Structure 1
Amino acid sequence: MLGIVTAGIAPGLALLSYFYLKDQYGSEPFSIVFKTFISGALLVFPIMFIQYVLDKENVMQGLFYEPFITMGLLEEFFKWFILFYTIYQHVSFDEPYDGIVYGASVSLGFATVENIFYLFANGLEYAVGRALLPVSSHALFGVIMGYYLGKGKFSLESKWKWLWLSLVVPVMLHGSYNYILITLEDWLNLMIPFMIFLWYVGLKKVKKARLMSTKHFEDNLLFEKPFISGK
């Protein structure tokens, strides 16, 4: 049991640590990141219940609805909802890169609990595959969501466009991941290039968010200098 729990938690914590330590302008308060992680973990239970009801009632089932709506949209919307209503206006969200940290945190909280449940049901031999595919993909969906939330918060214009993209882009990527996994017999042949693409996009967003944070702090420093110097 301990081995399964450890294997279920380890990849999520490793990925969260990676994105957390990439924050170059002061790490986010651990307590806020932890609460966001736990919020994502708790999301598993209502989402599993809703998905169970939809499946039993045969609602929104099919080649499109299941991967994109009952899985992709449902899961990403709840993550987005938590980020927008608990983190977006929080005082700790004070630079664009913070969106990456909080987006990864809520997604990896969800992925970690989901991963533990899967390993209990199917066995420890799936731990490596789960770490490389579902856990990593959830992390990257969260990174991309957080990137657009950060861009929306600190942009002077088109805020609602970025907020809209912060939901739509992860939903489409998540749906595409599920579609490959559920509908294709030779899914691995397409999943490998898809994951390479997802990592490329995610790491590119990380780099862009770091550059936006650098500009954000430089602009703030220039604004504060006249007041500091007494001019």
Structure 2
Amino acid sequence: MLGIVTAGIAPGLALLSYFYLKDQYDSEPLSIVFRSFIFGSLLVFPIMFIQYVLDAENVVQGVLFKPFLTMGLLEEFFKWFILYFTVLQHTSFDEPYDGIVYGASVSLGFATIENIFYLFANGLEYALGRALLPVSSHALFGVIMGYYLGKSKFAKESKKKWLLLSLLIPFLLHGSYNYILIMLEDWLLPMIPFMIFLWYLGLKKVKKARLLSAHHMQDSHLIKKPFVS
């Protein structure tokens, strides 16, 4: 039991630590990051219930509905909802890169509990595959969501566009991931380039967010000292 819990938690904590330590300016309070992680983990229970009801009642049908709507949209919307209402307006969210940290935190909270449940049900032998695919993909969906939320908060214009993209792009990526895994019989071959692309996109957003934070911190410093020549 201890081995399963450890294997279930370790990938999420490792990835969260990686993205947290990439914050080169004002690191986020660990209490707020941990709170976001817990909120994300608690999302598993209502989402599992809703997905069970939708499946049992056969509410949605069709090739695209399950991977995109009952899984992709439902999960990403709840994560987006938590980020929007508990983090976005918080005083600790004071630079664009903070969106990366909080987005990864909520997503990895969700992925960690989901991972533990799966390993309890199916066995420890799936731990490595789960770490490489579902856990890391959830982390990257959260990174991308957080990047656009950071853009929305600190951009001088097009705030609604960035806010919309913060939900739309993770939803489409998550739905595509699910479609490959669920609907394709030989899913491993297309999954490899998809995950490479997802990591490339996620790390690109990390780099861009760090640059945005650098500019933001520089501008804030100059505003505080208006007579600097």
TM-score w.r.t. length of structure 1:
0.98
Distance in 1 of aligned mates of 2:177 and 2:226 = 51
Distance in 1 of aligned mates of 2:61 and 2:218 = 50
What is the 5 A alignment of 1:170-189? 170-189=170-189
Verify the 8 A CA contact 1:55 1:61 in the aligned structure 2.
no
Task: Give the CA deviation at 1:62.
Answer: 2.7
Distance in 2 of aligned mates of 1:112 and 1:186 = 26
1:196-218 CA deviation, whole Å, 9 max, x = no partner? 00000000000000000000011
Q: Specify the alignment match of 2:78 in structure 1.
A: 78
1:36-93 CA deviation, whole Å, 9 max, x = no partner? 0000000000000000000000011331000000000000000000000110000000
Verify the 8 A CA contact 1:67 1:178 in the aligned structure 2.
yes
Amino acid at match of 1:65: F
Q: Specify the alignment match of 2:104 in structure 1.
A: 104
Q: Specify the alignment match of 1:67 in structure 2.
A: 67
Gapped runs of 5+ residues in structure 1? none
Task: Give the CA deviation at 1:33.
Answer: 0.3
Distance in 2 of aligned mates of 1:80 and 1:164 = 10
Task: Give the CA deviation at 1:226.
Answer: 2.5
Amino acid at match of 2:69: I
Q: Specify the alignment match of 1:196 in structure 2.
A: 196
Q: Specify the alignment match of 2:42 in structure 1.
A: 42
1:11-49 CA deviation, whole Å, 9 max, x = no partner? 000000000000001210000000000000000000000
Distance in 1 of aligned mates of 2:172 and 2:40 = 20
Distance in 2 of aligned mates of 1:220 and 1:82 = 27
SS of the aligned residue for 1:37 comes to helix
Task: Give the CA deviation at 1:220.
Answer: 1.0
Question: What percent identity do the matched residue pairs reach?
Answer: 81
* Aligned alpha-carbon RMSD (Å): 1.0
Verify the 8 A CA contact 1:68 1:174 in the aligned structure 2.
yes
Q: Specify the alignment match of 2:51 in structure 1.
A: 51
TM-score w.r.t. length of structure 2:
0.98
Q: Specify the alignment match of 1:220 in structure 2.
A: 220
Task: Give the CA deviation at 1:100.
Answer: 0.1
Amino acid at match of 2:181: L
Matched positions, count? 229
Distance in 2 of aligned mates of 1:7 and 1:215 = 39
Distance in 2 of aligned mates of 1:94 and 1:224 = 15
Structure 1 residue runs of 4+, over 3 Å off?
none
Distance in 1 of aligned mates of 2:143 and 2:81 = 15
Verify the 8 A CA contact 1:142 1:170 in the aligned structure 2.
yes
Amino acid at match of 2:160: W
